[in-house]
Amino acid sequence: MTTAIPEAISDHARPADVLARRGFGPRVRRLHARIGAAHHQAEGMTFSRSLLEGHASPRQLAALIRALAPAYELIEAQGPELAAALGAEAFPWAALARRQALRRDVAMLAAIPATPASAAAHDWLEQLRGLARQAPHRFLAHVYVRYGGDLSGGQQLGEKAQAILSSQGLPSLRFWEFQRPIPELKQALHDAFEQLDLSEVEEEELLEEAVVAFRATQRLLAELAALETPAPASTEA
């Protein structure tokens, strides 16, 4: 019996990514190279594979959307000013903005039973607040990881999420839907990051923080997987 090999979520898992990076600017190329290992790890986590295979539950999807909403609110409230101050005035914030879609999705998912407050999302939000005050270039590393992911592997995950919700008679999510062509938005995002005016130290810290951003995502993915993990059987007599 041959075991099927699960398809990859993102280009980071394919040889084609090496070719694609040749067209990137130097900073984005370094970012892709730095986050590759963390990206692979996130893709291999239980919730990621479950969603990709169409097995994630509507409750898990609701928990994901509820967890992401506060961070995107913060990013889109403070990100434009922080990016502009570092030279990225052409950042496509209006086209990338997710908070309105997340607000709508949270309301739409209200019929799904409440899920536990996410400790991972809370910690991530506090981390973002601190970076916005003290290290804006590190804050923007989280912006790159989040929106870059939404425009890349997130598109595939979004299709799987829609199919799961549709099979349960639930409305589609808007979180992964963008009004401009995805390749155009990716290019605009990349161009904005190439514009950032950073010192050598800040450049290295941007790369370091991109990996930290993936670790925050991994903690959230672990929480989502645990939502569907059966509680241990009682050993009491």
Give the DSSP letter string of 82-150: HHHHTT-TT--HHHH--HHHHHHHHHHGGGSPP-PPPHHHHHHHHHHHHHHHH-HHHHHHHHHHHHHHH
Q: What is the mean pLDDT of the chain?
A: 89
> What mean pLDDT is predicted for residues 143-156?
95
How many CB atoms neighbour CB 102 within 10 A?
22
**In angstroms, rounded to a whole number, what is the distance separating the alpha carbons of residues 60 and 221?**
10
The answer, yes or no, to whether residue 1 has pLDDT greater than 60, is: no
> What mean pLDDT is predicted for residues 184-202?
97
pLDDT of the residue at 19: 43
pLDDT of the residue at 5: 37
**In angstroms, rounded to a whole number, what is the distance separating the alpha carbons of residues 179 and 11?**
22
Nearest to 32 by CA among 149, 205, 201: 149
The answer, yes or no, to whether residue 227 has pLDDT greater than 60, is: yes
pLDDT of the residue at 232: 46
- Residues contacting residue 55 through CB under 8 Å, at least 6 positions apart: none
What percent of the chain has pLDDT above 90?
Answer: 81
pLDDT of the residue at 164: 96
Query: Which of the pair, 228 or 124, is modelled with greater confidence?
Result: 124
pLDDT of the residue at 229: 59
The answer, yes or no, to whether residue 93 has pLDDT greater than 60, is: yes
pLDDT of the residue at 182: 96
pLDDT in tens, 53-81: 999 999 999 999 999 999 999 999 999 99
DSSP state of 229: S
Token pair belonging to 8: 């990859």
Query: CA distances (Å), 88 to each of 84, 151, 157, 193, 196, in order?
Result: 5, 19, 29, 7, 5
Query: Which of the pair, 15 or 186, is modelled with greater confidence?
Result: 186
pLDDT in tens, 25-58: 999 999 999 999 888 888 889 999 999 999 999 9
pLDDT of the residue at 152: 92
Query: CA distances (Å), 48 to each of 18, 60, 173, in order?
Result: 23, 11, 17
Specify the pTM. Answer: 0.87
pLDDT of the residue at 21: 53
**In angstroms, rounded to a whole number, what is the distance separating the alpha carbons of residues 132 and 124?**
12
CA-only gyration radius of the chain, Å = 18
**In angstroms, rounded to a whole number, what is the distance separating the alpha carbons of residues 191 and 25?**
8
Query: Which of the pair, 115 or 17, is modelled with greater confidence?
Result: 115
- HEC string of 56-101 equals CCHHHHHHHHHHHHHHHHHHHHHHHHHHHHCCCCCCCHHHHCCHHH
pLDDT of the residue at 38: 87
DSSP state of 236: -
**In angstroms, rounded to a whole number, what is the distance separating the alpha carbons of residues 61 and 47?**
10
